[in-house]
Structure 1
Amino acid sequence: MKCNKLVLAAILAFSSSSFAQTAYDFVVEDIRVEGLQRVALGAALTYLPVQRGDAMNRFRITQLIRSLYSSTHFEKVEIYRDGNILVVEVAERPTISNIVFEGNDDIKDEQLQESLENSNIRIGEPLDRTVITSIENGLKDFFYSIGKYNADVSAIVTPLPRNRVDLKLLFEEGDAAKIQQINIVGNEIFEDDELYKQMELQFDAPWWDFLSETRYQQQTLSGDMETITSYYKDRGYLQFSIDSTQVAMTPEKDGIYVTMNVSEGEQYNISEVELVGDLLGFENFLAQVIPLESGELYNQAEITYTEDFISKYLGRFGYAYPTVTTIPEINEDDKTVKLTLSVDPGKRIYVRRVNFAGNTVTSDAVLRQNVNQMEGTWLSEPLLDSSKAQLSRLTYMEEVEYETVRVPGVDDKVDVDFTVKEQASGSFNAGIGYGDATKLSLQAGIQQDNFLGTGKRVGLNISTVSYQKQAQITYLDPFFTIDGISLGGSVAYSEFDGGDFGVIQYNSKRWSVGANVGYPINEVNRISFGLTYSSVELSDDNTNYVQTRRFYDQFADQTDPDAPIDYDSFLASVTWSRNTLNRGLFPTAGSSQRASFSVTTPNSDVNYFKLVGDGKWYFPLTRNQRWSVLARLRFGYGNGYGDTDGVEQILPFTENFTAGGADTLRGFENNTVGPRGLVRFSSVLTTSPTGVPILRDPSQDTIALSQRSLGGNAMALGGLELIVPTPFLEADFDNSVRTSIFFDVGNVWDTEFDFETYENLNVQQGSDGLQDYSDWKLYRSSAGLSVQWISPMGPMVFSFSRALKEREGDDARFFTFNIGSTF
């Protein structure tokens, strides 16, 4: 059917539609919509503000076209009259089939995707071509703000069948403009170099200063201007100002010259400090603790601190939104300033609900156990911060954030919304393998720190390698009671071959069962008590080491001295721990300390004690904490107590400390650092006629040393690590991959070793030289590079290291690999 081309309304300036003009109005008898593909006819009719029987006029036509365009489904609208039939011909906007980003380095795909979605550009939605240009310009402005003035962004729309399109954003970022020079004009009090030190933007930086920011960034310059302003105002220059800033660019757009014109003014002293407003009865306390005092130099940093302190202090009592304003009254005659702190605490705020989002595995109840802010109580910022810290320390939490949301229609209640991001909380392994050291190995096990989302730790491990066969079940409920009392236990059985483990040759069989209970002292300190029963069967394989023979002789059967020995023990322990780390895995700030004392009960077959301490301290170097320094310290001491049948008890050598490997001294083979096993041979001169040996003087005896370490009863280990961003990986991977440059140092020694007894004896050929194993100063050290990865199979540690200080007989290793929790 051919329509009469009668214009019913003028073409709208904002659209590409055409309209046949008419000189008269008409009454609509029917409506026909043409050109629909994806949009249903019923849906299209809902956008038309016209029905059968309506009289058409210019105003109604304008409404109709606006309504169709506002639906966002159409990019072209034409309206015709066919008799008294209203004909609406449309061209639908194409549907976005795919979005591709190419050439973007400074902007992540996720950021671009978020930006497009904010503009309603997403896969499966109609494409509004009118916003493409604004998106291109917005992205160009971003690149200009970070100094990339040659950057270009192009949106390429490729038509596809069935009215679909592919959208590609093509980036040509180019190189960022370098800062050629920064000029500060008007400063007389502080030299240029002094002010340059305060700035993040730098120019003419030496090659080795890889932390310097020489790329021009508008946001960074704004931050530097605030820093310089604060530098002056913190030193009394109350009326300092940056009057103007000029940024000039080289013709090639690869260099930037920055000029700042400043007015320094004069120094001012504080003449008086006055607190006014509703101070809720805390006037005397606040007046005593705030750092502002009359007669001192004006300091903007102290004023800001005072305002924050008052706000946070009032926040402890539920006044979460106080207003603290400092009003200066300047006296130009004597260059003084009176400071009036006006305090309006506002209303006391209560928490209606505490909500959680993002936890797909962990139950709300487990998260709520770690939150100190209770529902129905005052809103407390310190409690919220401590709640966030406790949640962040959970090993199955990667990120934790919170915000307070006012309840609509109520001015004294808020909801607290915690948003968490979970990470793998356990590991599963099953397999078969073969290695030069471990030979054939079979293993199967599961370790889960957040079992079924309950927050309970459950472990089942069965493994067999060349040096050990073991089976172990562990359990820990960190919130056995609502007060945070924990309860745990373990059952284990193992068969151990020390020779294949890296220590001296001995075999043992052990089974044990234990339980422990922990009590929170406060949110960062905890104390726990444990009791473990162990039964050990031990054989020495006829090695006859001097250090171990004394222990064996306590239990050996004189009629069968080569028979295995066995002993039972009840080990009681008390442990104190403190944790202020900002995360459970891969922390970057805070510290953790742990000290434990364990002792066997007097009714045990062996009587000994052990004291072990461990500490880690993290010091962030940058604001984003991607650069940090870790300081580590570990120490231990153990010995026997009492006597048995007149024989003084000693520490069982199976309880000795060892060192070497991923979590102690990298650069040395596992458990090989420390005293060696010593065997003493009595030299026979001749025999009597009756066949009885005639022995030489004991001073003529010979000694031999084991190739393996015996361990010792004392240990001291330490180290420093520089945590750096992992090359070629973005910041999003910082919570799963960590790279560090380390320095390790330490030693294991035996305080009971009598070096003078053996120092003049001959050492058997082929043995390493005898050392004073009681000397703590015989330390080892190493340095290198370590990469840690939380893989689907569990934590993995790769270390490339070089031994800097080693002793005779040490087994230094350039590369070591370890699977297990060492963080």
Structure 2
Amino acid sequence: MTTLLHRARLRTLSTLVAAALASQMAWAINPFTVRDIRVEGLQRVEPGTVFGSLPLRVGDTYTDETGSAAIRALYALGLFNDVRLDVQGDVLVVIVQERPTVAQIDFAGNREFTKEVLQNALRDAGMTAGRPYDKALIDRAEQEIKRQYINRSLYGAEVQTTVTPVARNQVNLAFNITEGQPARIKDIHIVGNRVFSESKLKDLFDLDTGGWLSWYTKSNQYSRAKLNADLEALRTYYLTRGYLDFKIDSTQVAMSPDKESMSITINITEGERFVVSGVRLEGNYLDREDEFKSLVTIKPGEPYNADEVTATTKAFTEQFGNYGYAFATVNADTEVDSGNHRVAFVIKAAPGRRAYVRRINIEGNTKTRDEVIRREFRQFESSWYDGEKIRLSRDRVDRLGFFTDVGVSTAEVPDAPDQVDLVVTVKEKPTGSVQIGAGYSSAEKLSFTFGLSQDNAFGSGNQLDLQLNTGKYNRTVVVSTTDPYFTSDGVSRTVEAYYRSAKPYQDQGGNYRLITMGAGLKFGVPVTEQDTVYLGVNAERTEIRTGTNIPAAYLAYAERFGYKSTSFPFTVGWSRDTRDSALAPNEGRYQRLFGELGLLGDARYVKTNYQYQQYVPLSKQYTLAFNGELGWGKGLSGQPFPVFKNFYSGGLGSVRGFEQATLGPRDVTGSFIGGARKITLNTEFITPFPGAGNDRTLRLFGFVDVGALLGEHEKIERDAFRASAGVGVSWISPMGPLRFAFAVPVRKKAGDRIEKFQFQIGTSF
């Protein structure tokens, strides 16, 4: 490395001398007409690059100015260590010495980042194989590598570069990295707070000094972006509680000498608490002032709340947009009475001009067809601008699940003040997945699962699914496809074929089986923007295959109605989902109603199921969740409800603390046969996991479950209900949502099978 730098200094000195000599030569040579130009010393650089950079051509007059300009132009390319001009008669000879090029880039000592990630970072900084070697570029590359490590809180990372000359005037670069340890937060102090305690304010932060789960959450690793987010949360906390003059005076981050720990000090001024004295409207409200007044959430007599001010101005802007005024401006000016700590608001509105949408342009969809996005839009081209329809359209595109980000922006049309273009920007994500797994249990022994799913097949928006499960007792094959726009009005169509082989009562031993195969056709009809009704029909063939230890309930049904049953059940359903997340919801509601009616075929029955979930946010950290499920089945035409259509209860998803599917009636052999009526009630109090901060992917919950399972002709009585209470952990892991629960039955009956610890891979409740 030292030798190479010494050579570089000598080359620089010789270059300067050569440039000076060339300049003197240029002055010494009388101007002449250039008959020819030759270039000597090229190895990899194309001659055309040199000729294209020279400020003179054959036939031009060579002067001292053009000679100096030629040398400067060739140096500016950054490709040469040395450039000289020689004159042989009326021939100009350009003599160059090329810089070495980078042949190979390698890394050593990198554990936090893969080689590919670092190579991409260097590429963005202009350093790639094949580029000319430049010391300034090496310095830039080292700083870029350090920047990548600083983003991971590795402030002590050191980078040393080894340059090794190789054949054909090339060099190999090796970046030797010493990563060090992540900088961990030792202390966080808030100075200047009088109203709220420091501990209460620090609870707002995602950053903390660490706990026993910091290895997972990394909440004690400093990040400037996280700190800015925490400071914004602190500012919002005060501004939503009346402290109009609140400000963050300074933020000091002190690093330890070893760059492995730091202290954060935040200096604040709380100011006084202000109360809203009044709100009045000024400007043009389209003769709908009362309508706009109903949107005001700022309440006189209550403390100033910045969120309510923002919500009010946003609601006004959106309301103007609903009437086609895309360029409306709404401002909430304050009239502050500092002496009495009161503030009045004047909301000034200027609707501007009404506009209509000329075109809707879509950007970023490299795979998904434009049609798939456009058919979700409720705002049409050449129609009046409607803010409500645009927001609904954006949400509908987002709910497709094909994109990580969906944005809609408005662009003015030049020379057309009453027109706008909408630009829909999407960022696609992978929509296909393959799941392969294996499991072992005392009941199922070794089983394999395989799943192939494509939610956006070939960019068409259609969904394809294949599910395969093998086990000693339960085997399943399901193939389905869904066309969400089977008709132009948004009616969906699902075609499904399935085969299921099960032995429900594994504890009884034996080799009997329940085999169901069939196919179904289902249509989803959108009734409103939030509600969908499902209608379908299935063709099923169910066989009770006899064997040893078959439950008496199955045997009795088979002897009366046959061991094989063919039916054509009709299905009807309805769903609505307003949860903010399907995996870790904090607020919203989910409802689902499903009905199955068997009128054709051997089995005559009706079966319904209704589920209701409600999530109530108590704060940023705490959520109260409720789940209720009702199931009801009845046999028709004098037949009992088919035993193979029974509901089951017990275990995760119903009443925790009891073995899966062991509640309810039993037959004379003691087998758990399920029931025709089901009641389940669950309540959960969800909190952050201790030590995990505000990380919503890992949460702790306490719960109370109540449920009952009844036969078709049993009455609902208090003694039929079981109840349990316990605690659990939910974790959105890389393999999917995991839930662990430890429950203690608080209401049970003799003979109930207790299983206090249970887990599942799946969704909530």
Q: Give the TM-score band, short-chain normalised.
A: 0.7 to 0.9
Residue in structure 2 matching 1:354, options 356, 361, 367: 361
Question: Does 773-782 or 470-479 show the bigger shift?
Answer: 773-782
- Which letter maps to 2:721? W
Is the Cα contact below 8 Å between 1:746 and 1:781 reproduced in 2? no
Q: Which residue of 1 aligns with 2:631?
A: 637
1:749 aligns with 2:709: yes
Give the C-alpha shift of residue 651 in structure 1. 1.5
Give the C-alpha shift of residue 595 in structure 1. 1.7
Q: Which residue of 2 aligns with 1:88?
A: 94
1:496-535 deviation per Cα after TM superposition (whole angstroms, max 9, x unaligned): 6556698997555655454322211233321112233445
1:423 aligns with 2:430: yes
Q: From the superposition, tell whether residues 129 and 568 of structure 1 become closer, same or farther in structure 2 (CA, over 3 Å).
A: same
SS at match of 1:174: coil
Q: Which residue of 2 aligns with 1:611?
A: 608
Mapping for residues 545-694 of structure 1, pairs under 5 Å: 547-548=553-554, 551-552=557-558, 554-555=560-561, 564-580=562-578, 592-601=590-599, 605-614=602-611, 633=627, 635-641=629-635, 644=638, 649-658=639-648, 672-675=661-664, 677-679=666-668
Give the C-alpha shift of residue 40 in structure 1. 1.5
SS at match of 1:133: helix
Q: From the superposition, tell whether residues 426 and 628 of structure 1 become closer, same or farther in structure 2 (CA, over 3 Å).
A: farther
Q: From the superposition, tell whether residues 283 and 32 of structure 1 become closer, same or farther in structure 2 (CA, over 3 Å).
A: farther
CA distance in 1, matches of 2:142, 2:666: 73
CA distance in 1, matches of 2:444, 2:647: 21
Q: From the superposition, tell whether residues 39 and 471 of structure 1 become closer, same or farther in structure 2 (CA, over 3 Å).
A: same
Mapping for residues 528-543 of structure 1, pairs under 5 Å: 528-538=534-544
CA distance in 2, matches of 1:499, 1:198: 50
SS at match of 1:673: coil
CA distance in 1, matches of 2:106, 2:654: 47
Q: From the superposition, tell whether residues 196 and 800 of structure 1 become closer, same or farther in structure 2 (CA, over 3 Å).
A: closer
Is the Cα contact below 8 Å between 1:667 and 1:782 reproduced in 2? no
Is the Cα contact below 8 Å between 1:149 and 1:253 reproduced in 2? yes
Mapping for residues 173-252 of structure 1, pairs under 5 Å: 173-182=179-188, 184-202=190-208, 213-252=219-258
Is the Cα contact below 8 Å between 2:408 and 2:423 reproduced in 1? yes
Is the Cα contact below 8 Å between 2:475 and 2:500 reproduced in 1? yes
Residue in structure 2 matching 1:712, options 675, 695, 712: 675
- Which letter maps to 2:709? W
Is the Cα contact below 8 Å between 1:749 and 1:773 reproduced in 2? no
Is the Cα contact below 8 Å between 2:665 and 2:709 reproduced in 1? no
Q: From the superposition, tell whether residues 76 and 345 of structure 1 become closer, same or farther in structure 2 (CA, over 3 Å).
A: farther
Is the Cα contact below 8 Å between 2:675 and 2:712 reproduced in 1? no
- Which letter maps to 1:635? E
1:776 aligns with 2:721: yes
CA distance in 1, matches of 2:48, 2:755: 79
- Which letter maps to 1:529? L
Is the Cα contact below 8 Å between 1:448 and 1:458 reproduced in 2? yes
SS at match of 1:314: helix
- Which letter maps to 1:597? G
Is the Cα contact below 8 Å between 1:499 and 1:506 reproduced in 2? no
Question: Does 241-250 or 649-658 show the bigger shift?
Answer: 241-250
Give the C-alpha shift of residue 574 in structure 1. 1.7
SS at match of 1:401: strand
Is the Cα contact below 8 Å between 1:661 and 1:816 reproduced in 2? no
Q: Which residue of 2 aligns with 1:414?
A: 421
CA distance in 1, matches of 2:613, 2:264: 43
TM-score, reference length from structure 2: 0.76
How many residue pairs match? The answer is: 737
Q: Which residue of 2 aligns with 1:49?
A: 55
Q: Which residue of 2 aligns with 1:26?
A: 31
SS at match of 2:426: strand
Q: Which residue of 2 aligns with 1:130?
A: 136
Give the C-alpha shift of residue 42 in structure 1. 1.9
Give the C-alpha shift of residue 405 in structure 1. 6.9
Is the Cα contact below 8 Å between 1:499 and 1:505 reproduced in 2? no
Mapping for residues 488-507 of structure 1, pairs under 5 Å: 488-490=494-496, 498=504, 507=513
Is the Cα contact below 8 Å between 2:652 and 2:758 reproduced in 1? no
Give the C-alpha shift of residue 739 in structure 1. 7.7
1:610-651 deviation per Cα after TM superposition (whole angstroms, max 9, x unaligned): 22234567899999xxx998968463423325563xxxx432
SS at match of 1:705: coil
SS at match of 1:343: strand
Is the Cα contact below 8 Å between 1:184 and 1:262 reproduced in 2? yes
Q: Which residue of 1 aligns with 2:533?
A: 527
For structure 1, the 5+ residue unaligned runs are: 1-9, 556-563, 680-703, 757-771, 791-795
CA distance in 1, matches of 2:451, 2:234: 58
Computed over aligned residues only, the root mean square deviation of the Cα atoms, in angstroms, reads 5.3
Q: From the superposition, tell whether residues 380 and 249 of structure 1 become closer, same or farther in structure 2 (CA, over 3 Å).
A: same
SS at match of 2:139: helix
Q: From the superposition, tell whether residues 677 and 590 of structure 1 become closer, same or farther in structure 2 (CA, over 3 Å).
A: same
- Which letter maps to 2:634? G
More helix by share: 2
Give the C-alpha shift of residue 409 in structure 1. 4.5
TM-score, reference length from structure 1: 0.72
For structure 2, the 5+ residue unaligned runs are: 1-11
Give the C-alpha shift of residue 268 in structure 1. 3.9
SS at match of 1:484: coil
Give the C-alpha shift of residue 305 in structure 1. 2.6
Is the Cα contact below 8 Å between 1:486 and 1:518 reproduced in 2? yes
- Which letter maps to 2:364? A
Give the C-alpha shift of residue 803 in structure 1. 7.0
- Which letter maps to 2:573? T
CA distance in 1, matches of 2:315, 2:228: 26
CA distance in 2, matches of 1:13, 1:278: 72
Q: From the superposition, tell whether residues 619 and 107 of structure 1 become closer, same or farther in structure 2 (CA, over 3 Å).
A: farther
Q: Which residue of 2 aligns with 1:487?
A: 493
